């Protein structure tokens, strides 16, 4: 299963916590789209003719694209790639973009899955994050989207200093009441060089407390389990048959092509990433050049990536697969290093399969780094 990721680098405004590449303007949008169309054609052989099972428009804010622009992009992709008849096509959207008219036009494109950046249904949380929408808009956008899209996901953030336990439970109850089939829930992290990091350092914003993040994570797991959502990846919960096929392909080591500035690609042998600069991206493609950096992956890097991605999932890490693909040395290394996490109950073992416990999921990055 191969996938395509398209990075749309435009936003109405920058959220305080965001460290993804984007600009708070649509100034270069038309030139960007022309460059993107050129990149699609230049990269037509990257996936060696594999059928495309998933396409994901992320950002940034893809819902700033018009339906005509989305159709133009899909037409170009279909000209050069073989698209599965059962392809999952996801578009990330902000609530303030999802009015009836836009949703109706969006339904006329090939998009069949919507991922809405809700983050919270409470205004004070949204103001802390510097989101462009408010709680009522979040509710309205979901209600309108449910009339058009069956396959719907929302993003939520926990650990926000303004978000107490009661409000967090209310957010999760709202998910159930609105019958949302998929939820991605992320702990608020203070990334370097973001506005949030600056405001916290200056004392203008309350800092993120580790204990709140831990408490909210346990509440998240308890509530979602009570509503029969499957916790199929550390940050992802879904009803049956609503797993994100695109993200699952990442965690399964499938090939994917990344298009747009800062987008990453992986073909099983190497990884490459485009320049994180809109002007340079556009200028390079005007000269029929893709501005990217590439690295050939060593056996150790492939092992590290397998452990990092597989351990995040309900499927877990298979030691027998490590033995078959990477050899005795890395197999022995894995078993030696994983023993400490088995002993302190952060990892479970079932025959050759290793999965994180709920407590282990809180320390996933630290654990996987120890297994590298």
Task: Note the pLDDT tens digit of each residue in 177-213.
Answer: 999 999 999 999 999 999 999 999 999 999 999 999 9
Q: CATH number for 298-372: choose from 3.40.50.300, 1.20.140.10, 1.10.10.920, 2.40.50.140.
A: 1.10.10.920
Domain 2-250 classified CATH 3.20.20.70? yes
Q: What is the pLDDT of residue 234?
A: 97
DSSP string, 180-228: -SEEEEEE----TTSHHHHHHHTTSSPPPPHHHHHHHHHHHHHHHHHTT
Would you kindly state where each structural domain of the chain is located, as residue ranges? 2-250, 298-372
Q: What is the pLDDT of residue 1?
A: 79
Q: What is the pLDDT of residue 54?
A: 98
Q: Are the C-beta atoms of residues 309 and 253 closer than 8 Å to each other?
A: yes
Alpha helices in 108-151, H assignment, sequence order: 123-129, 135-146
Q: How far apart are CA 94 and CA 138, in angstroms?
A: 9
Q: Which residues of the chain have pLDDT under 50?
A: none
C-alpha of 331 from chain center: 30
| Tokens read off for 347 | 């990892």
- Mean pLDDT, the chain, rounded, equals 97
CA dihedral 338, 341, 346, 350 (to 10 degrees): 50
Task: Note the pLDDT tens digit of each residue in 53-74.
Answer: 999 999 999 999 999 999 999 9
């Amino acid at each position: 299963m191969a996938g395509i990721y398209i990075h749309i680098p435009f936003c109405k405004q920058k959220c305080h916590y965001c460290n993804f590449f984007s600009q708070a303007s649509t100034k270069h949008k038309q030139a960007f789209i022309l460059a993107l169309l050129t990149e699609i054609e230049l990269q037509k052989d990257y996936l060696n003719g594999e059928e495309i099972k998933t396409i994901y428009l992320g950002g940034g804010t893809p819902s700033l694209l018009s339906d005509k622009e989305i159709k133009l992009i899909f037409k170009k992709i279909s000209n050069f790639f073989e698209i599965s008849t059962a392809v999952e096509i996801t578009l990330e959207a902000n609530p303030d973009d999802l009015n009836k008219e836009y949703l109706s036009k969006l339904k006329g494109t090939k998009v069949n899955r919507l991922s809405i950046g809700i983050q919270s249904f409470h205004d004070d949380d949204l103001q802390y994050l510097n989101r462009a929408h408010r709680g009522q808009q979040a509710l309205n956008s979901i209600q309108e989207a449910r009339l058009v899209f069956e396959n719907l996901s929302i993003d939520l953030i926990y650990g926000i200093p303004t978000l107490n336990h009661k409000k967090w439970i209310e957010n999760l109850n709202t998910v159930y009441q609105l019958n949302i089939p998929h939820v991605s829930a992320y702990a608020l992290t203070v990334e370097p060089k973001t506005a949030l990091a600056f405001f916290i350092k200056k004392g203008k914003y309350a800092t993120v407390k580790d204990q709140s993040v831990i408490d909210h994570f346990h509440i998240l797991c308890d509530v979602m389990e009570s509503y029969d959502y499957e916790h199929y990846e550390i940050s992802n919960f879904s009803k049956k048959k609503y797993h994100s096929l695109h993200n699952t392909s990442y965690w399964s080591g499938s090939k994917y092509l990344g298009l747009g500035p800062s987008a990453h690609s992986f073909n099983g042998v190497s990884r490459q990433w485009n320049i994180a600069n809109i002007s340079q991206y556009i200028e390079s493609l005007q000269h029929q050049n893709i501005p990217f950096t590439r690295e050939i992956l060593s056996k150790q890097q492939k092992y590290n990536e397998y452990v990092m991605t597989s351990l995040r999932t309900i499927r877990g890490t298979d030691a027998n697969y490590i033995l078959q693909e990477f050899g005795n040395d890395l197999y022995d290394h894995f078993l030696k290093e994983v023993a400490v996490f088995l002993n302190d109950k952060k990892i479970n073992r079932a025959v050759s399969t290793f999965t994180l416990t709920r407590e282990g999921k809180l320390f996933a990055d630290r654990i996987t780094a120890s297994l590298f």
